[in-house]
Amino acid sequence: AQSVAQPEDQVNVAEGNPLTVKCTYSVSGNPYLFWYVQYPNRGLQFLLKYITGDNLVKGSYGFEAEFNKSQTSFHLKKPSALVSDSALYFCAVRGGHSWGKFQFGAGTQVVVTP
């Protein structure tokens, strides 16, 4: 069975500081990994994904994520956080024996203070 964990319910960061949102996964075979962001009363917006190739993936709004196979992690990062980055972030995995089915993490609330 595939699973994804986001160990932090909330991440607090000051504007201008680096932002990291953690994600670890468990899946047999090669995983497809995704990050989404959700603003209040909105659907999820796609940020970036890892399918294969370069372990560092660049996405929308200055976000990037690093795939680490040995640590089964896919942490989301942004070098300099903005107040407007305050939102709910979801990591998702697709793969293993559940092709077609996305498994989402519980979500991490990011709060960026001015």
Binding site for other proteins (CB under 8 A): 32, 34, 36, 41-46, 49, 51, 90, 94-95, 98-104, 106-107
Pick the closest to residue 109 from 19, 8, 4, 7 (CA basis): 8
State in angstroms the smallest separation of the CB of 99 from other proteins: 5
The single-letter code of the amino acid at 71 is Q
State in angstroms the smallest separation of the CB of 90 from other proteins: 7
CB atoms within 10 A of CB 10: 10
State in angstroms the smallest separation of the CB of 98 from other proteins: 7
What DSSP element (H or E) covers 33? strand 31-38
